[in-house]
Amino acid sequence: MSDLIGLFNLLAPFFGLIGLGFFCGKVVKQPEAGLAWMQFFLIYVALPCLFYRLIADKPLDELANWPFILATTFSTFCAFALSFATGWRYTRDLPQSVMQGVAGSYSNIGYMGPPLILAAIGASASAPVVLIFVFDNLFLFSVVPLLMSLAGVEKLSLAATIRRIVWRVVTHPFNIATAIGVAASYLHLQLPQAADQIVTWLAGAAAPCALFILGVTVALRPLRQMPGEVPVLVFIKLILHPLLVWVVLSALGDFGPAWIYAAVIMAALPPALNIFVISTQYNVGVERASACVLIGTIVSMLTLTVILYITKTGAMPYDLFP
């Protein structure tokens, strides 16, 4: 019983903030444009500070675990491929299938992942959380524009598309923060006390702002019709993806419980709100993206609870092939 109470106390603030945002989005009649500055603060200020904080005090050897990076990124690729195939079966449309591939493979690794996993596992999970975040983003934000260019959505040549991908990767605020954090780790830099306090405050603001925005955004986009492929995509995202991560990591080596449990929980997170942002950017599958985020978030209240319970109680062995 104490385990269940502890799990409730862990998850309730996360889903409670999403619920509060959803309630406010339904009750308070404010234009959606009002979210713009809050989203800017989150993406360009608060979350970069959180990722800097996670990396800066880590030894570099923890951030060069290439077998772990290979295993988790390969698992995300498999989830993307399965989701893409599911989207193709239902739509027979390449751009929409790409969006479905993202919906079934891209976890909420920026908004929910770091605070939830650090609260559940502890500081020992910060290195795997950062690695998954960086390399899943590198994979997905490379493959999506490339496939969209091949589908003719982006009217650019292959060379121009590659240049745009490289530029977006290099200039993304999360990746810049990661690079600065790696440099700080390598040089053993310490911020001045005042700057360190600002970074600490901003890092602490990231999770509540992100979860509240998620709830508001879902509330402002009501589900009018359930696309037929959404249940399959939600199953791939919330069940199959974490299972793939668990099996591949177990087969590839002994990474230790903190790393494997962190990776499994990251994969079990609901679909990221960025899916809607990407679909809006390309004007492809917006309603389907909204449906995946909404249904995935609701279903994850059950699936994520179960996965957290079996990892925290040890009911799930961290290594399938000891």
pLDDT of residue 223: 66
Among candidate residues 313, 185, 247, the one with its CA nearest the CA of residue 255: 247
Residue 318 within any structural domain of the chain: no
Distance between CA atoms of residues 283 and 94, nearest Å? 13
Residue 317 within any structural domain of the chain: no
The end-to-end CA distance of the chain, in Å, is 30
Residue predicted with more confidence, 165 or 292? 292
How does pLDDT run across 177-227, given as a tens digit for each residue?
878 988 888 888 888 999 999 999 998 888 788 788 878 877 877 666 777
Residue 321 within any structural domain of the chain: no
Distance between CA atoms of residues 20 and 22, nearest Å? 5
DSSP reduced 3-state for 220: coil
In the chain, how many H helices and how many E strands? Answer: 15, 0
Residue 23 within any structural domain of the chain: yes
Mean pLDDT of 76-84: 96
Average pLDDT, the chain: 85
pLDDT at 153 over 80: no
CATH of residue 181's domain is: 1.20.1530.20
Number of domains in the chain: 1
pLDDT at 289 over 70: yes
Residue 220 within any structural domain of the chain: yes
pLDDT of residue 156: 65
Mean pLDDT of 102-118: 85
Per-position DSSP letters for 27-69, written without gaps between them: HS---GGGGHHHHHHIIIIIHHHHHHHHHHTS-GGGGG-HHHH
Is residue 171 exposed (0-12), middle (13-18) or buried (19+ Cβ within 10 Å)? exposed
10 and 308 Cβ atoms separated by less than 8 Å: yes
Mean pLDDT of 113-141: 85
pLDDT at 236 over 90: yes
pLDDT at 78 over 90: yes
Mean pLDDT of 71-91: 94
Mean pLDDT of 224-232: 82
- Domain limits at 118? 2-27+35-312
Q: What is the DSSP letter of 104?
A: T
pLDDT at 77 over 90: yes
pLDDT of residue 154: 62
Mean pLDDT of 69-84: 96
Q: What is the DSSP letter of 314?
A: T
Residue 322 within any structural domain of the chain: no
Mean pLDDT of 142-162: 74
Cα distances (Å, whole numbers) of residue 62 to 115, 234, 236, 243, 286: 19, 32, 29, 24, 38
Structure tokens given for 17: 């903030």
Residue 122 within any structural domain of the chain: yes
Residue 320 within any structural domain of the chain: no
